[in-house]
Amino acid sequence: MKPYPVRTYEDVREALLARREIALLDVREEDPHAQAHPLFAANFPLSKIELDAYTRLPRRDVPIVLFDAGEGLATRAADKLASLGYTRIALLAGGLDGWIRAGGEVFRDVNVPSKAFGEFVEAQRHTPSLSAEAVQTLLQNGDDVVVLDARRLDEYRTMNIPGSISVPGAELVLRARALAPDPKTRVIVNCAGRTRSIIGTQSLVNAGLPNPVAALRNGTIGWTLAGQTLEHGSDRQFDAQAGLDQASLDASRSASRALADRAGVRRTTLDEAARWSAESSRTTYRFDVRTPTEYERAHAPGFQGAPGGQLVQETEMFAPVRGARVVLFDDDGVRANMTASWLAQMNIDVYVVDDATGQELTASGSWRGARPEPAHTPALTADELAALLANPSSGTVVIDVTSSANHVKAHIPGAHWILRSHLSNDVDDLRTLPDARRYVVTCATNALAPFAAPEIAALTGKLVHVLEGGTSAWIRAGFLTESGDARLASPRIDRYRRPYEGNDNAREAMNAYLEWEYGLVAQLDRDGTHGFFVI
């Protein structure tokens, strides 16, 4: 086993305070990560390192500090990162327990830097808000009011305030004047909980929207706790095709640029950003903050799609290297500047691209980040697998390494689900599977299975194949699937169930979540490494 350097709590804290680059990575699955972790620890599960590393850690010699809670995952993750070419890998002294023993603050939940920042903003700026009961009264009375939902469209479709319109966060300042052209119209901004409501509302206030603006206090959680009914399956969105009034666009553009300047945002070009990305001495992230549709139609090469509202909401997931440089692009002069103004206040070194032309947007389609080539494993087609499964004497067992949610929703009949991070001699999950002559490994799209298959072969000594095209190919070939959790070899800890997700949340969990958010500002004070400020 290769020895790795160790970095102490004091060393990591000093790097954070000095704004030196550091990637503090929690390599456990998302659920245990959500139970306790340092403020700027990004969740980077061992299970998916090969899929995420080159996008989330673009510089191979970035300082990396890995930790777990004593499960032995950090050393395995270090070996994988070293095999991918990363050269400055260290382990956190004592892991999570060492951080706690040294006096380090730990936080619950996910996307904590962003959520804590939202609470910090409200505490500093006293962002206006209205209770769920007050908003429902306005709607029932037919008052002149528009409710704008700042979440992603898929979240909005799950549940929304009756009559509300989906306007994801970065679109708010760009679209609000058109959606509420009468300055007497009251604008309410909501999300599921608090963060995007606060940031969205404060964005409109900061941008000088003439309308009265307020956040829906505690979002859809507050609405549910008030005993009020939500809509489900709604599809009301802002009209992306509608032209923006030039005067309104100019006002939003001017206000956004002024806010970016006040926050210390700097300017750059596409050419300069490309040169920065090639540097070996500094990490540079490049994000296009427009809508996914606009991004896929045409974008600048090397820019990852990251709608601005989600970038502010999930900053540590998009850019886990604290101290890195972040470059933002849009084509309207509003969304990038507004997003940058918030990232700068989160103590991030951020730039906005100026003077780009449409002719420079030469890439199209969804983001395709670089990934390493897996070791060769022989493949089977869906037809070949179906023939083997139809013959019991073939001794074929299917192992599914997709997300547990994907597996439970639909999987190949008889398939057993296992966490890739539990493929180890130290964990019994693999030994609970039935004996087989041949294992066939699949996942949703065949992205992860080729990396897991050699590990299964090494651990079992059996013949192992991957399913060509994954479970998606099986479905396209017309074969049936089944659903349910009857054959789970591992616990479903790969995803943390947010208390504000879905339609069956317990009141106790929702109340506990709100109480946790209310306490984040005090936790920030105790931690002392955030560097947040508010303009």
99 & 131 share domain = no
- Inside any domain, residue 409: yes
19 & 85 share domain = yes
Q: Is residue 103 left, alpha or beta, with left meaning phi > 0 and alpha meaning psi from -120 to 50?
A: left
Residue 132 identity:
A
**Residue 89, domain CATH:** 3.40.250.10
103 & 126 share domain = no
| Domain span including residue 100 | 6-109
223 & 126 share domain = yes
- Inside any domain, residue 433: yes
- Inside any domain, residue 221: yes
The yes-or-no verdict on residue 243 having pLDDT over 90 is no
Which residues are CB-contacts of 347 (< 8 A; sequence separation ≥ 6)? Answer: 19, 530, 531, 532, 533
- From 197, 213, 238, give the residue that closes a domain: 238
22 & 76 share domain = yes
269 & 191 share domain = no
What phi and psi values does residue 219 have, to the nearest 5 degrees? 55, -145
Label residue 13 by pLDDT band (50, 70, 90). very high
pLDDT tens, residue by residue, 474-533 = 999 999 999 999 999 999 999 998 877 766 667 888 998 899 899 999 999 999 999 999
Q: Residue 239: what pLDDT?
A: 86
| Coil vs helix vs strand at 274 | helix
- Inside any domain, residue 531: no
Domain count, the chain: 4
Q: What is the arithmetic mean of pLDDT over 250-256? A: 95
Q: Distance (Å, rounded) from C-alpha 467 to C-alpha 453? A: 10
Residue 461, CB-side half-sphere exposure with 13 Å CA sphere: 2
331 & 386 share domain = no
Quickly count: other Cβ atoms within 10 Å of residue 140's Cβ. 9
125 & 225 share domain = yes
132 & 212 share domain = yes
- Inside any domain, residue 371: no
Q: pTM here? A: 0.95
pLDDT tens, residue by residue, 394-441 = 999 999 999 999 999 999 999 999 999 999 988 989 999 999 999 999
Which residues are CB-contacts of 121 (< 8 A; sequence separation ≥ 6)? Answer: 127, 198, 199, 202, 345, 534
The yes-or-no verdict on residue 2 having pLDDT over 80 is no
- Work out the mean pLDDT of the chain and round it to a whole number: 96
Q: What is the DSSP letter of 394?
A: G
- Inside any domain, residue 243: no
pLDDT tens, residue by residue, 298-311 = 999 999 999 999 99
pLDDT tens, residue by residue, 353-407 = 998 998 999 999 999 999 999 999 999 999 999 999 999 999 999 999 999 999 9
pLDDT tens, residue by residue, 50-92 = 999 999 999 999 999 999 999 999 999 999 999 999 999 999 9
105 & 121 share domain = no
- Inside any domain, residue 534: no
Please answer whether residues 314 and 500 qualify as being in contact, where contact means their C-beta atoms are separated by less than 8 angstroms: no
With a pLDDT cut of 70, the percent of the chain lying above it is 99
Q: Residue 505: what pLDDT?
A: 63
210 & 282 share domain = no
pLDDT tens, residue by residue, 279-298 = 999 999 999 999 999 999 99
- Inside any domain, residue 74: yes
Q: Distance (Å, rounded) from C-alpha 158 to C-alpha 171? A: 20
Q: Which residue is it, tokens 């009468």?
A: 182
